Amino acid sequence: MASKVQVPAKTQTTSQGFLYSALILGWLVPGAGHVLTGRWVRGLLLFVSIASMFWLGLAMQGKLYVPNTGDVLDMLGFAGDLGNGLFYALGRIFDLGHGAVQIATADYGTKFVVVAGLLNFISAVDAHNLRIGRKA
């Protein structure tokens, strides 16, 4: 998928402080990186979309992957789940994920959770690009 985002010839640093704050904050809390850069509406829309996807996934009895299972697909699922930042931590702390996927709805829920994490990675990188002035 080709991106039509216009990239300026020279990277401009438009903000002061820790350079990766939007990236890290955006990863921990979906949309927070955009809020940090002053894009409140974008941040709110991203938060609602990613949070809805994550929590609906769990409501559909989705599985939360754990590290070190020895299965490559589980590791990939864990990498995707990790993108949810604090949501994933909350899910693990309160044991909200379901261990075994036995019905189709639970399979959809598992995919919802993984994709929510992957979308949050994209969102955090976008917030970082806004922070460093690579994107308008």
Partner 1 sequence: MLAPSHFSAVLLFATFASVVFGITQRSTPKAMVQYGLYCWSIFVGVVIVASWVMWLIRR
Residues making contact with partner 1 (CB under 8 A): 1, 3-6, 34, 42, 45-46, 48-50, 52-53, 56, 59-61, 104-105, 108-109, 111-112, 115-116, 119, 122-123, 125-126, 135-136
Residue 101 CA to residue 36 CA, distance in Å, equals 38
State the nearest-atom distance from the C-beta of 37 to partner 1, in Å. Answer: 12
Q: Which residues contact 51 (CB under 8 A, 6 or more apart)?
A: 30, 87, 116
Closest contact distance (angstroms) between CB of 35 and partner 1 is 13
For residues 2 and 72, which CB has a smaller minimum distance to partner 1 in the complex? 2
CB-nearer residue toward partner 1: 23 or 123: 123
CB 123 within 8 A of CB 34: yes
Task: Give every CB contact of residue 98 below 8 A, 6+ residues apart in sequence.
Answer: 61, 62, 63, 64, 106, 109
- What the block records as the tokens of 125 is 């990188």
Task: Tell the residue number behind the tokens 């969102």, with chain if given.
Answer: 123
CB of 120 to partner 1, least distance (A): 8
User: Which C-beta is closer to partner 1: that of 88 or that of 112?
Assistant: 112
- For the bound state, the minimum distance from the C-beta of residue 8 to partner 1, rounded and expressed in Å, comes to 11
